[in-house]
Structure 1
Amino acid sequence: MSSELSHNSATNDRATARLEAFSDGIFAVAITLLALDISYPFNEHETNASLAKGLLLLWPKYFAYTNSFVTILLMWIAHHGIFKLIRHVNVQLIIANGFLMLLAVLTPFPTRVLGDYIASGAFKTAAVLYTGFFVLVSVAFITLWFVVKHERKMLHDHVSDNLVRKMTKIEFTGMFCNISITAVTAFNPWVGLTLNTAMWIYWLVKTK
């Protein structure tokens, strides 16, 4: 019996490690895709002055890239924090995690739209798309966490009820903040994007 329990425990550990490793790879791909959108067309007649000006004009791309890079990094940290509490996985968790990975890989799309239109008349729509996208990310994290919370035996024995409640509060607060930021963005895109960036502080504090 002891041998069987040890075998099951080792199998569960491997399954959890495989899912987390797969997710780490997806996050790495998502961050890499962000950088691919920053480019400058070659022009053999370019001068030092015109190149410098052209590179400065790419500031919307730099802004969108930096914001999304840090956000994906924080998503990865939060994801890692959840998986530290998990001792085994099931099909529901794999599916919920897949939904989150789908959004992680899709992050370059709203990032590209924001970078392309931040200095245009379509700025508000691009900003709402960008901030609204992170509402979906919050939904994905809540879904992932509730799968774990519902199957309490998926968590390590040392995970207390207080920690479960704390994690639940963190996820719901994050979603409320993202919904509010999207609503603000619809009225004032710059304020909305500023608040979106300020969410870094929230997640940095809460994921410690």
Structure 2
Amino acid sequence: MIEERHEGSDEKETGRIEAFSDGVFAVAITLLIFNVQVPILDNPYTSEHLVRLLVLRWPSYLAFFISFATILIMWISHHNMFKLIYKSDMLFLLANGFLLLLVTFVPFPTQLIAIYLTTPVAGVACAIYAGLFTIINLAYNLLWWRAVSRHRLLKAHVPPALIRTRSRNYLLGVPCYLLALLFAFWNPAVSMGICSILWLFWAITNFEPRA
């Protein structure tokens, strides 16, 4: 009975962490829409002019969609990670806080992409975008490493195969995002394509059997 009460207390603690994290993810993903601005027409108003201005803002729609999808998948990954976690400690809390700090920063490079993707400085904008997600991926690896190290924070009976699969998938993102970062200066479109492929990869790999 003592052990059951202790387990319940730890689960409640991680529940608060998840609730706080969910709120941060929700705010970050909502702020993305502010990068999609309504075009301002000059008189005389014409449908053709409005349509043309809306089409010209395609980088804003692209940046919004990619960042929205990426944050959504990051939240799902975060949720799935916490399904395996039994308790927390100070280092785990700090690692989670660092991850959330980076998540709140996503709207900034998203706006850079929206404004500068079709300009000569698109490479810099895409490099900052890919660079941020490189660091975010490192933060996920740090958070996961703290949880699985010596199994100190995991629930009992988590399959070793699942741990290995998750670890491999998290590590795979680091070189891929670095590749997107390097391509940004040579071909920004390829860089954004790599970032898009990666969120598709995370979406697929997050559909795993429950532990």
TM-score range, shorter chain: over 0.9
**1:161 maps to amino acid:** P
**RMSD of aligned residue pairs (Cα, Å):** 1.4
Structure 2 residue aligned with 1:86: 85
- CA deviation digits over 1:75-124, x for unaligned, max 9? 01111111010011111111100011011110000000111101111111
**1:36 maps to amino acid:** F
Please give the secondary structure, in 1, of the residue aligned with 2:185. Answer: helix
**1:140 maps to amino acid:** A
In the TM superposition, residue 65 of structure 1 has moved relative to its aligned partner by 0.5
Aligned equivalents of 2:123, 2:185: Cα separation in 1: 7
Please give the secondary structure, in 1, of the residue aligned with 2:120. Answer: coil
TM-score by length of 2: 0.93
Aligned equivalents of 2:42, 2:200: Cα separation in 1: 44
Structure 1 residue aligned with 2:24: 26
Give the % identical residues: 34
Structure 2 residue aligned with 1:116: 115
Aligned equivalents of 2:100, 2:199: Cα separation in 1: 20
Counterpart of 1:8 (choices 6, 29, 37) is 6
Q: Give the gaps of 5 or more residues in structure 2.
A: none
Aligned equivalents of 1:112, 1:185: Cα separation in 2: 16
Matching of residues 23-102 of structure 1 within 5 Å = 23-43=21-41, 45=43, 46-102=45-101
Q: Give the gaps of 5 or more residues in structure 1.
A: none
Moved over 4 A (4+): 41-44
Matched residue count? 206
- CA deviation digits over 1:13-68, x for unaligned, max 9? 11111101111111110011100121225447332222121111111100100010
TM-score by length of 1: 0.94
**1:101 maps to amino acid:** L
Aligned equivalents of 1:11, 1:44: Cα separation in 2: 61
